[in-house]
Chain A
Amino acid sequence: MNFKTQRVAYPYFVVALLLFALQLVMGLYLAFNYFYTVPQGVVDLFPFSTARAMHTNLLVLWLLLGFMGATYYAVPEETQSELAWPKVAYAQLILLTGTGVAALIGFLFGWTQGRPLLEIPTTLDFLVVIGALMFLANVGVTMMRARNFTATQGTLLAGLVFLAAMYLFGMPFYENLAIDWYYWWWVIHLWVEGAWELVTAALMAFMMIQLTGVERKVVEKWLYVELGLFLFTGLAGTGHHYYWIAAPKYWLWVGGIFSALEPLPIAFMLIDTWRSMRKSKRPQPRLTWVYVIGMAVLHFVGAGLFGFAHTLPQINYYTHGSQVTVSHGHLAFFGAYVLLNLSFFYFAIPRLKGFPDGRYDERGGHWGFWMLSSGVVGMSLAMAVAGVLQTYLERVQGQPYIVAQSPIRFWMAIVFLHGLLALAGALTVIKHLLTLKPAPVAEA
């Protein structure tokens, strides 16, 4: 840590990690509902829908708080200046966490906008917008004052502005269901396959420059290529969500072709990360590379391969809206964004604590990574089996939904068991990160 104000990042990381644990508990409850018949009395009080709203909103909230913390850590280093308003950063954290908690409690009492992933009621949406504006202003003003622009900074700021702007499309009430979903995807797809990828690419570039000592010019040159590919495939690739919403037929072509290319930039990122590690001039704790490479690999498998598997309209006609989507969603979010956040936390926390060379005691961290990752991978594979079964029984054979769900219950129990492993791994990671100790002095 070279700048005092980078310290504001730490509470963001702490809150993010705690919400992460809560998100997994909710996820376990959802999986449990799939294989065990929860009695009517419990369903009336705490239905699957409420738990799902909490599970997904917790995910979005903690990932975004993680991104914001990471940004507050990176921006002073990138601009070579202190953050413009550190106190505003703390106030923003309190505002956003408070809004999030209010939304979660509201869900329990049926206060919801009632649209998947965007359940936060419009009143609270305005508080989210205020929080986002505080954040963008803080980051923007810091960059403007420092006048020390880099491509990494530009990408980060562009990604964050893009992210905030897309949120607005999720706020109004749409009378026509088709138009509603059309713009719902401007939030969801253009986030995860647009804005969030920009933020990820920028934070990765920042970490790579710091970790490996590879020349900035080289890293940033590949950053341009990577972003060009991401946005080329990702923007028009939104079309793969428009096949069955009553949009014109040309979306089948455009969505199919562009999204078939979507694995390319992710493969590129994987190769780029691997190459950076090989060229690294600075020794790092082994766990750092376990995370960074783990992220690059699972990002490619979850988002790239699992996404490609059902993106062509001929296949998607049968798999759309089945557990196949669930499988892809879990592995993609984990590989791309959960591991990015955790990688960044492992990079930033030792430096925030002032450990020499950012080295730390790795014991416990490896166990956490492998339990968490194998838990999520196993879970996604079980969901994939459930999805293929559902696709065949319900979509091809024409069995009624509830009949076709019956053999799936077994696989959801397998999901639950892997979920327990993932939770144990996550708790290990969280404990390790929050009680990080300096590396033991080498015994001579």
Chain B
Amino acid sequence: MSERAAKLIFWIGTLSSLALFLGMTWDTHRSFAALTHADRLDANVIAGKRVFEKYNCNDCHTILGFGGYYAPDLTRAYKRLGEDAIRLRVASPETAFADSYRKMPQQHVKPEEIERLVDFLRWVGNIDNNDWPPQDSDTRWKAATRRLVGGAAMSPGAALVAQENCLSCHSLGEAGEHRGPRLEYISTRRDAQWIARYLVNPEAVTPGAQMPAFDKLSESQRQAIAEFISSLADRRTP
């Protein structure tokens, strides 16, 4: 190869790739507003991002898959855990993770800062990023619940979930709210016995939990709800 050819390879290789990269950067900037729902990116969300950075959350947690790999990804934490569970974990990690083999530091985050953090995670939870991460994929949750409905598995537990209005705080499939954790997510972590015990008095199991006690229900009713929720896990994997 002549020196001239070598130089030609250098310039063509570098400049073509650079032109492509810069062109796409320009176009990507035009798309960010729609893909990230920038209209919902208000002062509270921005303040929340500052809180997120102030406490160095990102060196243990990942968000959009980047950061420390020591703690769960936060991209869809809002949809997975719900607001109350986020508040509880940030405000008193020493109780939230008392039984866990991995701890989160107590950083004395102020209550108003925690609210901004929730605003930030709510916004992040809704960005359109090709449905990543897979473990929190909305599409996958919805498909699992559709299979459940399609299988006519409408157990007494399911009827009780509807009757007791669980979905006014929790989410299930395409329905529900994001105050408490997603029911399918609970099912991946807890068995029926644990859920039944939790229903009697949430505060006794998780100090600071906001969920009301369901001690007015009979034991068999609580057991039916618990079995329904714990059965959701089996439908998770296609």
- Interface of A toward B, CB cutoff 8 Å: 30, 33-34, 37-40, 43-44, 47-50, 52-53, 110, 112-116, 119, 173, 175-179, 181-182, 184, 217, 221-222, 224-225, 227-229, 231-236, 238-239, 242-252, 254, 258, 317-318, 320-323, 325-326, 394-403, 405-406, 409
Name the CB-closest residue of A to B35: A246
Kindly provide the distance from the CB of B127 to the nearest chain A CB, expressed in whole angstroms.
Answer: 5
Which residues from A are CB-within-8-Å of B66? 116, 181, 184, 321
Residue in B3, B10, B41, B102 whose CB lies within 8 Å of A227: B10
| B194 adjacent to chain A (CB < 8 Å) | no
Chain B residues with Cβ below 8 Å from A33 are 70
CA distance A33 to B236 in the complex (A): 31
Q: Which A residues touch B236, using CB under 8 A?
A: 397-398
Tell me the smallest distance from the CB of B137 to a CB of chain A, in Å.
9
Complex CA distance for A250 and B28, rounded to whole angstroms: 10
Cβ contacts under 8 Å, B93 to chain A: 40
Q: Is B119 an interface residue (CB 8 A)?
A: no
CB proximity of B37 to chain A, nearest CB, Å:
9
A44 to B106, CA, bound (A): 6
Check A224–B10 contact: CB distance below 8 A. yes
Given contacts A250-B24, A398-B135, contact A228 B68 (CB under 8 A): no
What CA separation (Å) do A112 and B107 show in the bound complex?
14
Looking at the complex, which one of B17, B36, B69, B129 makes contact with A233 (CB distance below 8 Å)?
A: B17
Q: Is the CB of A401 within 8 A of B20?
A: no
In the complex formed, the residue of B with least CB distance to A258 is: B17
One digit per residue, 1 when the CB lies within 8 angstroms of any chain A CB and 0 when it does not, for chain B 77-121 equals 000000000000000011000001111111100000000000000
Which B residue sits closest to A325, measured CB to CB?
B69
- Chain B residue, CB-CB nearest to A173: B50
Q: Inside 8 A of B163's CB, which chain A residues have their CB?
A: none
A40 touches B103 (CB 8 A): yes
Chain A residues whose CB sits within 8 angstroms of the CB of B35 once the complex forms:
178, 246-248
Chain B residues, CB < 8 A from A112 = 53-54, 56
In the complex, whether B151 has a CB less than 8 A from a CB of chain A is: no
Instruction: Place the interface of chain B in its size category.
Output: 35 or more
Q: Is B228's CB within 8 Å of the partner chain A? A: no
Q: List 6 A-B contacts (CB under 8 A).
A: A43-B104, A52-B70, A53-B59, A110-B107, A252-B130, A405-B102
Measured CB to CB, the closest approach of chain A to B222, in angstroms, equals 23
From known contacts A176-B38, A177-B64, A227-B10, infer whether A49 and B56 are also in contact, taking CB-CB under 8 Å: yes
CB distance B65 to A244 under 8 Å? yes
Chain B 1-41 residues near chain A, CB threshold 8 A: 1, 3, 6-7, 9-14, 16-18, 20-21, 24-25, 27-29, 31-32, 35-36, 38, 41
Return the chain A residue nearest B236 by Cβ.
A398
Please report the C-alpha to C-alpha distance between residue A299 and residue B54 in the assembled complex, in whole angstroms. Answer: 35
> Is B103 a contact of A43 with CB atoms below 8 Å?
yes
A313–B41 Cα gap in the complex (Å)? 28
CA distance A288 to B64 in the complex (A): 42
Closest to A116 in B: B67
A110-B107, A232-B17 given; 12 more Cβ-contact pairs under 8 Å? A34-B70, A52-B70, A116-B68, A175-B46, A182-B32, A228-B10, A231-B10, A233-B17, A246-B64, A248-B31, A320-B132, A406-B101
Answer whether A114 and B27 are a contact pair too, CB < 8 Å, given A320-B132, A402-B100, A402-B102.
Answer: no
Cβ of B14: which chain A residues have Cβ within 8 Å of it? 227-228, 231-232, 235
Q: Write the residues of chain B forming the contact surface with A, with a CB cutoff of 8 angstroms.
A: 1, 3, 6-7, 9-14, 16-18, 20-21, 24-25, 27-29, 31-32, 35-36, 38, 41, 46, 49-50, 52-60, 62-73, 93-94, 100-107, 124, 127-130, 132-135, 140, 185, 188-189, 236-237
Q: Which residues of A contact B7 (CB under 8 A)?
A: 224
Asked if A235 contacts B18 (CB within 8 A), the reply is: yes
Give the number of residue pairs across the A-B interface with Cβ within 8 Å: 227
Chain A residue numbers with a CB within 8 Å of B62 are 321
Q: In chain A, what residue has the closest Cβ to B189? A: A400
Known A-B contacts A178-B35, A246-B35, A247-B31; the reply to A221 vs B106 at CB < 8 A is no
Taking a contact as CB atoms under 8 Å apart, the answer to whether B20 and A254 are in contact is yes
Structural contact, B237 and A246, CB atoms closer than 8 A: no
Q: Does A321 contact B56, Cβ atoms closer than 8 Å?
A: no
Question: What are the nearest 3 A-B pairs in CB distance?
Answer: A114-B53, A321-B65, A232-B13
Nearest residue (CB) in A for B58 is: A116
CB <8 Å contact, A114 and B103: no
Give bound CA distance, A184 to B21, whole Å.
15
Task: Give the residue among B57, B65, B129 with the most A Cβ atoms within 10 A.
Answer: B65
Are A47 and B105 neighbours in the complex by a CB distance under 8 Å? yes
Q: Decide yes or no: A245 and B102 within 8 Å by CB, A48-B70, A114-B54 being known contacts.
A: no
Tell me the bound Cα distance from A173 to B53 in angstroms.
10
Question: What is the CA–CA distance of A365 and B21 in the complex, to the nearest angstrom?
Answer: 43
Q: How far is the CB of B214 from chain A (nearest CB, A)?
A: 23
Decide if A181 touches B134 in the complex (CB within 8 Å): no
CA distance A39 to B31 in the complex (A): 45
Are B132 and A114 neighbours in the complex by a CB distance under 8 Å? no
- CB of B68, distance to nearest CB on chain A (Å): 5
Asked if A179 and B32 sit within 8 Å, CB to CB, the answer is: yes
Contacts of A252 in B (CB 8 A): 130
Give Cα distance in the complex from A341 to B19, angstroms.
32
Residue from B20, B56, B103 in contact with A37 in the complex, judged by beta carbons closer than 8 Å: B103
Contact assessment for A177 and B63 in the assembled complex, using a CB-CB cutoff below 8 Å: yes
Given contacts A228-B13, A244-B130, contact A178 B237 (CB under 8 A): no
Residues on B with beta carbons closer than 8 Å to the beta carbon of A34: 70
Q: How far is the CB of A298 from chain B (nearest CB, A)?
A: 22
A contact residues around B72 at 8 Å (CB): 400-402
Given the complex, which residues of A lie within 8 Å of B188, measured CB to CB? 398-400, 403
Contacts of B71 in A (CB 8 A): 401
- Once the chains bind, are A44 and B140 in contact (CB under 8 Å)? no
Expressed in whole angstroms, the minimum distance between the Cβ of A174 and any Cβ of chain B is 8
Contacts of B58 in A (CB 8 A): 49, 114-116
CB distance from A383 to the nearest CB of B (A): 10
Are the CB atoms of B65 and A224 closer together than 8 Å? Answer: no
Q: Are B65 and A229 in contact (CB under 8 A)?
A: no
For B237, give its contact among A114, A248, A397 (CB under 8 Å): A397
